[in-house]
Amino acid sequence: MDSSDTTTIAHEPETAIKQPYISIDSQSTSTRQTSPMPGPKRPGGPRHKSSIRTQDSFTQPRDIEKHSKLPYFLRMRGSITPHMIVPLVFIGAWATLITCISKFVYPLVVSDLLLTVLGFVVGLAISFRTSSAYERYADGRKFWAQLSQTSRDLARHIWIHVKERHEMNPEQGKADLLGKVTALNLVSAFAVALKHRLRFEPYAQYEDLEPLVSHLSTFAGEAFDPETSEPRPKTSWKRGGEYLGLTVAQSNPRKVIQRSKKNLGNLPLEILTYMSAYLDAISESGQLSNGVQQSIFQANLASLNEVLAGTERVLNTPLPMAYSIAISQITWVYVIMLPFQLWAKLDWVTIPGTMFGAYIIIGIAAIGREIENPFGCDENDLPLDKFCQALQDEINVITARAPPRIEDFVATEDNAVIAENGYASLAEKSTEAIRAGLRARTNLRTGGHVPQEKQEV
C-alpha cells in the first residue's frame, strides 16, 4: 500500500484554500496573524462546506508534493485494482464454470483464431478509448496552465501598472491600494469559483470561496439554500460501492444543481464581469491611462473567459454514448470468450489465465473511464485545490511588497552592472568606457569567465 495512504487525514481539508485573518495595526506597518474568526455569512444559512470527504483518503486527488518509495506495482492509491475486484470475481467464477464443464462433461472449445481476430478489434477499441480519455485529461491540464499564466500576468499588471494616487490625496491613494487588492482577490476568486463549477458545486458559500466573493451580488450567492445545497451524507454501503467502482453506487454528480430552486447563474463569468467593471473604472479615473496596458488587461480577461469555455467543453463533451456502449460490449464479449479458447491448451490454467487477461483488458478500459473527467475529486484527477492554493500564494508574493521603483534596484551599489563593477563606480565612468566594458563581456573564455584585464572598465 502506498505510504501516502497511511497518512492521517485531518478533519479540515489540507488542500482547501485558507484565508488567514490579518490584523493590521494602525500604529505600525507590520501585520500579524490572529486566530481565525467567523467570516460574514450571507442570508440563507451557515457557510456551506465543500463536498470533499477528507475522512476518506481514497476520495481526494493525490497530493503531488508527497513522495512514496514503494514500487508502482505495490501502490493502491490511484490504482484501478479496487474497481477490478467485482469483475475479476465474476470472470473467475465464469472461467471455473466453463473449465469444469469442459473437464467433466463436454469440452467447450472454440478455435483460438478468435483470439487473433477479436484481439485486434478489442485492441483498437481500447486504444481509441484510452487515447480519447487522455486527450481530455491533457486538455484540462492545458487550460488550467493557461489560467495560471493569465492570472499571474493579470496580477502583475494590476499591481505594477495601476497607479495609486497618493500624491493627490493620501486617502485616495489608500482607496486605490484597497481597490487593487480587491481586484487581485477577484483573480484568485475566479480560479476557485471555476474549480467548484467544474465539480458541480454551484454555490458561493464554500470555505475557500466565500471570503473572496461574499461582497459581490451573484446568482450563486442568492440561490443558496441549506436544504437543497448541502450534500447528503453517504452510507458505508455507498462509500464501499464507490470504492469498488460499482455503477449502482454512483450518484448523479449534477444532483445538487438539479435540486436548486433558483437560477444558479455562472459564478466565474460573473466574477469576470466585476473585473471588467474594475478595468473600466481605472481607465476612466486615469489610473491605467496607457492604451497598451488597457489592451493587455482586456486580453487577459478574454483569456480567462477562454479558459472557462474550454474547461466547460472538456467537462460537458464526454465520449459519445454509442462508442462507450460498443467498446464495453466488445471488451466483455472478448473476455467471456477467453475460457472457450484457452481450455484446449491450458487445461486448469485456463482459470488464472482468463482472470489475468481480463485484468489487462478491462483494466485498461477502466483507466479510460477514470481519467476522462480530470476535474473531479478522485485520486487520478487534477489537484485543483493545490493549483488554486499555489496561485493564491503567488498573488500574495506579488502584493507582499510595494510596486518597485526603478531607483530601488538600479541606482544601488549592490547592483553589479558589469562583472564586479557596481552602479556607483560605473556612473563615474564615461559612456565610451561603459560600452567598452560591455564589448569585453563578449570575449568569454573557458568556464564562462572574462580575464581580469577585460573586466575592468
DSSP string, 352-397: HHHHHHHHHHHHHHHHHHHHS-TTSSSTTS--HHHHHHHHHHHHHH
Q: Looking at the predicted structure, is the pLDDT value of residue 268 above 90?
A: yes
CB contact burial 24-57 (16+ within 10 A = b; e otherwise): eeeeeeeeeeeeeeeeeebebeebbebbbbbeeb
- Phi, psi for residue 39 in degrees, rounded to 5: -85, 175
Q: Looking at the predicted structure, is the pLDDT value of residue 447 above 70?
A: no
pLDDT-derived band at 258 (thresholds 50, 70, 90) equals confident
Q: Alpha-carbon distance 330 to 121, whole Å?
A: 8
Q: Looking at the predicted structure, is the pLDDT value of residue 265 above 80?
A: yes
What's the pLDDT score for residue 247? 78
Burial label, 394 (beta-carbon count in 10 A; 0-12, 13-18, 19+) = middle
Q: Looking at the predicted structure, is the pLDDT value of residue 432 above 50?
A: yes
Please enumerate in sequence order all residues whose Cβ is within 8 A of that of 256, keeping only pairs 6 or more positions apart, or say none.
Answer: 51, 200, 201, 202, 228, 229, 231
Residues pairing with 23 in the sheet? 32
Q: What percent of the chain has pLDDT over 90?
A: 39
Q: Looking at the predicted structure, is the pLDDT value of residue 90 above 90?
A: yes
**3-state class (DSSP) for residue 417:** strand
Q: Looking at the predicted structure, is the pLDDT value of residue 21 above 80?
A: no
Q: What percent of the chain has pLDDT over 70?
A: 82
Q: Alpha-carbon distance 136 to 314, whole Å?
A: 6
pLDDT-derived band at 229 (thresholds 50, 70, 90) equals low
Q: Alpha-carbon distance 362 to 126, whole Å?
A: 9
Mean pLDDT for 409-429 is 83
What's the pLDDT score for residue 451? 52
What's the pLDDT score for residue 449? 52
Q: Alpha-carbon distance 178 to 156, whole Å?
A: 16
Q: Are 383 and 64 in contact (CB under 8 A)?
A: yes
Strand pairing category for 31-33 and 421-422: unpaired
What average pLDDT is seen over the chain?
81
Mean pLDDT for 81-91 is 91
pLDDT-derived band at 251 (thresholds 50, 70, 90) equals confident
Q: Are 403 and 176 in contact (CB under 8 A)?
A: no
What's the pLDDT score for residue 49? 42
What's the pLDDT score for residue 368? 87
Structure confidence by residue, pLDDT tens digits, 147-204: 999 999 999 999 999 999 998 889 999 999 999 999 999 999 999 999 999 999 888 8
Structure confidence by residue, pLDDT tens digits, 105-158: 988 888 777 777 788 888 888 888 889 999 999 999 999 999 999 999 999 999
HSE on the CB side for 219, CA within 13 Å? Answer: 14
Strand pairing category for 22-24 and 416-418: unpaired
Mean pLDDT for 410-419 is 83
Residues pairing with 33 in the sheet? 22
Lowest mean pLDDT among 147-156, 222-231, 333-342: 222-231
Please enumerate in sequence order all residues whose Cβ is within 8 A of that of 116, keeping only pairs 6 or more positions apart, or say none.
Answer: none
Rg (CA), the chain: 30
Q: Looking at the predicted structure, is the pLDDT value of residue 37 above 60?
A: no
Q: Looking at the predicted structure, is the pLDDT value of residue 278 above 90?
A: yes
* Residue 354 grid cell: 482468463
What's the pLDDT score for residue 452? 52
Q: Alpha-carbon distance 120 to 117, whole Å?
A: 6
What's the pLDDT score for residue 233? 75
Element (H, E) at 416: strand 416-418
Between these two residues, 325 and 78, which has the higher pLDDT value? Answer: 325
CA distances from 105 to 74, 112, 242 (A): 40, 21, 39
Q: Alpha-carbon distance 94 to 110, whole Å?
A: 16
Q: Looking at the predicted structure, is the pLDDT value of residue 14 above 60?
A: no
pLDDT-derived band at 344 (thresholds 50, 70, 90) equals confident
* Residue 238 grid cell: 455507498
Q: Alpha-carbon distance 198 to 314, whole Å?
A: 10
